[in-house]
Amino acid sequence: MKNVSRLRPALAAALVAVAAPIAVAHAAGSATTATAVSVDTGADVRPVNPLIFGIAYGDGARNATIGYPLRRWGGNSATRYNWKVDVHSTASDWYFENIPGASDRSHVPPQGNDADAFITEARSYGADVLITIPTIGWTPRADSPLQHPYFAGFSVAKYGVQEPPNPWTAATDPWDSDAGSGECLPAHNPSPNCVAYGNQGGHHLVNNDPHDTSSEVAPAFWKEWIAHLQATFGNAAGGGVRYYSLDNEVMLWNSTHRDVHPAPTTYDETWAKAFAYGGAIKQQDPAAKVNGPVTWGYCDLFGSAADNCAEGDDRAAHGGLPFVAWYLQQVCTHPLAGGAHAVDYLDLHYYPQGNVALNDDDSPTTAARRLRSLKELYDPDWVSESWIADLGDNDVNHYSKPNLIPRVRGWIDQYCPGTKLAITEYNWGNDGTTSGAVAQAELFGIFAREGVDMATRWVAPDADTVAERAFTLFLNYDGAGAKVQGSSVRAQSANVDQIGAYAFNAGARTMVLLTNKTTTAQDVNLAFASAPGTSWKLYGFDATHAVHPLATGTVSGTSVSVTGLPAMSANLLVVTGADSIFRNGFD
């Protein structure tokens, strides 16, 4: 869009292109003090892995439209999935029930099964998939019913009266009164198996029979599944499934899957399973890449489920090493036969705490806290504004200062160099939160700059939501397929709480992400270390407008001034026409 008069009237008044330095004319009511941003395309050069723009699940047709490059099959239900009959366990998410997929069990797996359909959809639009291989050792029974009543982990008829697990959920499945929550009260259920847990006065049932719903399986069961996937889609080297993860949030099994795994998962159990199952995957498909351990959050960076969050007896028994550091150590000191590692990607989940993640609250206070919490990913001096701060800063672990990505990359460098880094669950706000969408855009900048190799948001944004706009800004910013790609390069903002700045170079294109995290329009003065190109275009989105071009102009010199970036918005300045012979990156 070269003619600024064709912009929406409000933007036309606020955004007027002039040349050398680049400027967008000052809007009434915008900030009077510009934030300084410096960009150096020759410094801190790190290739951007397109797998950081992944999602979990999502509608196949919409995924194709947006162009997500990676689709994850994961979550609690993936821990117990019986591929031979297409049945999964809902675990604690929904009354520990076995839920069927395809109904025709005359084939193994059933024709039209969920997993094959999931992969087929992703392949139809050119996406890779990340498939969870269960390691818990249990799978839904092959004779699981196709209709209600389903097999359930805590039958009311068998284990007695049960209670609502929380104020918004019933004691039993509304469609099956025999499928209980597993929660109980001694006054209503006098069974000796109704026991206290935690420190909040809760009680739950123990000593249930795992065989009510599930059967034991070994790694060979999953080798058969991979063989089926190879026969259906090809092997990893030939365009088939390339990425597998070792289960999901294993340190929560004693909660999410306590009907079959009531004991806390330990350091040793997690590694033993990683070695056995990772080895089985590599044996079946040597070119496949394996993710592990798939942590649930902050506590299991440092300790196991048998520890008290960061510290405890299990950690002490393993030399006091943080769990993830110890796990990496095992990966490199215990290679498989032939020298390959059982795990290729260190796989973490991370959700900011303090009512920021998976939350519809977009009030100014929460929005500001949400955006500040991004610093938990990279700032060594930032103290979390959540319960994480209560862990203190009393030793070399600096628990109150997450510094997530540099922390774990340091462990990788120390204990298992060459391991890649994946963050396969994260969420910085529900789909309708504008601050969450701005955070999502900035997350891509952080992932690229800090060296994340794979990332999948939980879950794919709904169609036409503000969160989806953040993906569009990176995957199709001009509506004609232009993407942010190439290499992340140095960009520094003088005020990261006001303006986030992240730069990318791809041959003759230099792209700068500018996020306005405030409730007012902001001005930005950019200084490039060398002339960035000959022409520019500015794209962006905010609360009410999808990704769209804002203004265009020509470039002369190394200064760029942008005036009146909309409040709470994410914007991409694309400069083209540079001499690309000596530049890093690729198109």
Give me the amino acid identity at 387: W
CA distance 481 to 3: 21
Report whether pLDDT(156) > 60: yes
Please report the beta strands in 277-395, taking only residues with DSSP state E, as ranges in sequence order. 289-293, 345-350
Residue-level pLDDT at 200:
80
Please indicate, yes or no, if residue 586 is contained in any of the structural domains. no
Does one domain contain both 133 and 216? yes
Does one domain contain both 326 and 359? yes
Give me the amino acid identity at 42: G
Report whether pLDDT(14) > 50: no
pLDDT-based confidence at 578, cuts 50/70/90?
confident
Please indicate, yes or no, if residue 354 is contained in any of the structural domains. yes
The predicted-structure confidence for 317-348, as pLDDT tens digits, reads as follows: 999 999 999 999 999 999 999 999 999 999 99
Structural domain for 181, as ranges = 156-207
Please indicate, yes or no, if residue 11 is contained in any of the structural domains. yes
Does one domain contain both 270 and 394? yes
pLDDT-based confidence at 110, cuts 50/70/90?
very high
Residue-level pLDDT at 32:
64
Please indicate, yes or no, if residue 185 is contained in any of the structural domains. yes
DSSP code at position 462? P
Does one domain contain both 309 and 330? yes
Does one domain contain both 227 and 337? yes
Report whether pLDDT(581) > 60: no
Residue-level pLDDT at 201:
85
User: Among residues 449, 427, 425, which one has the least CA distance to residue 130?
Assistant: 425
Does one domain contain both 245 and 338? yes
Report whether pLDDT(421) > 70: yes
Does one domain contain both 203 and 244? no
Domain containing residue 565: CATH number:
2.60.40.1180
- Domain's final residue, options 419, 442, 475: 475
Terminal-residue alpha carbon distance, the chain: 22
Please indicate, yes or no, if residue 585 is contained in any of the structural domains. no
Please indicate, yes or no, if residue 449 is contained in any of the structural domains. yes
Does one domain contain both 131 and 278? yes
Residue holding tokens 């004779």?
A: 143
The predicted-structure confidence for 215-257, as pLDDT tens digits, reads as follows: 999 999 999 999 999 999 999 999 999 999 999 999 999 999 9
pLDDT-based confidence at 31, cuts 50/70/90?
very low
Report whether pLDDT(486) > 90: yes
- Alpha-carbon Rg for the chain, nearest whole angstrom, is 25
Report whether pLDDT(18) > 50: no
b/e code 95-108 from CB counts within 10 Å (16+ = b): bbbbbbbbeebeee
- Domain's final residue, options 475, 494, 512: 475
CA distance 70 to 59: 13
Does one domain contain both 229 and 320? yes
Residue-level pLDDT at 359:
96
DSSP code at position 390? G
Please indicate, yes or no, if residue 582 is contained in any of the structural domains. no
pLDDT-based confidence at 468, cuts 50/70/90?
very high
Report whether pLDDT(416) > 50: yes
- Domain's final residue, options 475, 510, 533: 475
User: Among residues 512, 561, 553, which one has the least CA distance to residue 535?
Assistant: 553
Asked whether the CA dihedral 222, 223, 225, 226 is positive or negative, the reply is: positive
Domain containing residue 414: CATH number:
3.20.20.80
- Segment 42-60 shows an average pLDDT of 98
Residue-level pLDDT at 44:
98
Domain tally for the chain? Answer: 3
Q: What is the mean pLDDT of the chain?
A: 93
Does one domain contain both 493 and 355? no
Does one domain contain both 64 and 41? no
Please indicate, yes or no, if residue 392 is contained in any of the structural domains. yes
Does one domain contain both 368 and 396? yes
